[in-house]
Amino acid sequence: MGSARERLRELEEASVDLSFWSPPYYVGKSYEADLSFDDWQALIHDVIAEHPRIIKPGGFMAVNIADILCFPDPAMPRFQADNVVNKKSPVTRADVEAVRELMPTANRREMAAVLGCSEQTVQRRLEGNNVRGGKQESSTKIVLTGNMVVEWAEEAGLYLYDQRIWHKDPCWANSRWHSNSYRAVDEFEHVYIFWRPGITTYDRDRLSSKEWSEWGSRGVWQIRSVQRNDRHEAEFPEELARRVIRLLSPPRGVVLDPFVGTGTTTAVAAAENRQWIGIDIHPACVEMALERTQTTAEPPVRRSA
């Protein structure tokens, strides 16, 4: 148990065939509540920086991450929207401006009384937002993570080899698809695959012919997301880990997850006859990951948490 930054330094040089992990996404989960955006960037940067030493030449680091981060940013201008359909009040911006011209010193409450509407309607017509419904909160900033992760990896000495797009079922509860927004439904994540320079063993027999044709050689993987996050609030499906592990690591090879969480990566690695190393800073996660992985494992395993 411990920080990935610290525990990775304890691993032997060139001891890992594949590192597969999904870091905190900086989207407001409880386990990352204390991280600022700068803290988050430093964490991912530092963890990546430890990998070129521990990955075997020709081996891989695969990072599963949402390519779009969204978080409040006080420096962003407030987003303004004019919902032209289903307005609750017939009062228009022209109506409000006409009253303001007649009553130049009137405040919103006084103009609302004249117009027979709410104070929020007056502000929305004039400014595109209102004083309630969270409109005083900072606007949401959107940042693409892919370029950052690629830059940090290349700086460390790892090079982008490939990517897979994990197409999951839409996360309707988080998408606000019914709200006043043109933003897309959250329905995919990226697996960025990085290579440590060296001879890479290419073994076509790792997958069956059917597996190669259905997903091994395909850029988009359609895998249903975890439907109930009872163990952890950000858990990826075992099938995602299974595909990455089978494709990018040899049988009996060593698979690492420096953000092991509840042990999805390590449990799948054990089931697929791989050795495993899991690291997590949270004691409860370490205990759960160990129990889950040891229950799954049949061959001898390698443990570090």
Q: Which 3-state string (H, E, C) describes 30-77?
A: HHHCCCCHHHHHHHHHHHHHCHHHHEEEEEEEEEEECCEEEEEECCCC
Backbone φ, ψ for residue 276 (5° rounding) = -145, 155
Measure the CA angle with vertex 60, ends 279 and 161; round to 5°: 135
This prediction has a pTM of 0.79
Low-confidence residues in the chain, pLDDT < 50: 131-133, 174-177, 299-301, 304
pLDDT of 33 reads 64
pLDDT of 301 reads 46
pLDDT of 68 reads 79
pLDDT of 139 reads 74
The answer to whether 141 and 71 have CB atoms below 8 angstroms apart is: yes
Rounded CA gap, 129 and 29, in Å? 27
Backbone φ, ψ for residue 210 (5° rounding) = -65, -40
pLDDT of 133 reads 47
For 135, the 3-state DSSP assignment is: coil
The answer to whether 72 and 140 have CB atoms below 8 angstroms apart is: yes
| Helix/strand/coil percentages in the chain, nearest 5 | 35, 20, 45
pLDDT of 132 reads 47
CB atoms within 10 A of CB 245: 24
pLDDT of 144 reads 87
With CA atoms as reference, report the closest residue to 195 among 53, 16, 65, 52.
52
CB atoms within 10 A of CB 281: 17
Rounded CA gap, 221 and 188, in Å? 9
Q: What is the C-alpha radius of gyration for the chain, rounded to an integer number of angstroms?
A: 25
Rounded CA gap, 27 and 192, in Å? 19
Rounded CA gap, 287 and 4, in Å? 16
Q: At residue 32, what is the residue type? A: E
pLDDT of 177 reads 47
Output the CA–CA distances (angstroms, integers) from residue 206 to 66, 83, 250, 287, in the order listed: 28, 54, 8, 31
Q: What is the dihedral of CA 164, 168, 173, 179, to 10 degrees?
A: 70
